[in-house]
Structure 1
Amino acid sequence: MNKTELVKELAKHTDLSQAKAAEVVDALFDAEKGMIANQLRAGDKLVIPGFGSFFARKREEREARNPATGKTIKVPAKNYPVFKPGKTLKETCEK
């Protein structure tokens, strides 16, 4: 399912127009301004009971090797997003 299909399904299952459903999807999932991205950027965890949790992990600075040249380079530390599915979501997928 892509974003357009998600918007259509959300509109179908609620009393929202497709335009309003698109606003809701963007408010949650937009990579720059969405609620999930804002929580992760602030270093906070977003927990949706039964569904799962979104949080950021820190990857420490490390050394890596350029496979083309063999030269060692430093890869800077960075944060990356993580999603951990909740128990109910895991059980639903197993059925």
Structure 2
Amino acid sequence: MSKPMTKTQLVASLADEMGADKKTATAALDAVAAIVAREVAAGGAVTLPGLGKVMCRARPERMVRNPATGESVTKAADKQVKFTIAKALKDSVNG
């Protein structure tokens, strides 16, 4: 398995694909990340065409077990970010 692409590599590749400089590509990538974070934090969902859908799901209060002591404790309700992969991406990866 190869190493994951770093942000620097992603920005360089994005700049090349856009035909722009790295500063513009960095600004575009940061803007997309900020928009997704803001929308998901507000309880919405964002569909990234060709990649998938980012959404926030509420998890109810539940009982969890401390593995060190075996003690059961109640964990408060919280939110969890989910990413669902697009079918087009799955199909392209699986040939």
TM-score range, shorter chain: 0.7 to 0.9
Q: What's the CA shift string for 1:35-88, capped at 9, x where partnerless?
A: 111110111111234331111111111111212222221111111111111121
Q: Does the residue aligned with 1:16 lie in a helix, a strand or coil?
A: coil
Instruction: After TM superposition, list the pairs within 5 Å mapping 1:32-47 onto structure 2.
Output: 34-47=34-47
The reply to whether residue 48 of structure 1 matches residue 52 of structure 2 is: no
Residue aligning to 1:73 = 73
Q: Does the residue aligned with 2:80 lie in a helix, a strand or coil?
A: strand
Residue aligning to 2:64 = 64
Unaligned ranges ≥5, structure 2: none
Instruction: Calculate the TM-score normalised by the size of structure 1.
Output: 0.85
Q: Does the residue aligned with 1:46 lie in a helix, a strand or coil?
A: strand
What is the CA–CA distance in structure 2 between the aligned matches of 1:50 and 1:19, rounded to whole Å?
A: 24
The reply to whether residue 5 of structure 1 matches residue 9 of structure 2 is: yes
C-alpha RMSD of matched pairs (Å): 1.3
Unaligned ranges ≥5, structure 1: none
Divergent runs of 4+, >3 A:
none
Instruction: Calculate the TM-score normalised by the size of structure 2.
Output: 0.85
Counting aligned pairs with the same residue, the percent is: 34
What is the CA–CA distance in structure 2 between the aligned matches of 1:87 and 1:71, rounded to whole Å?
A: 41
Number of residue pairs matched by the alignment: 91
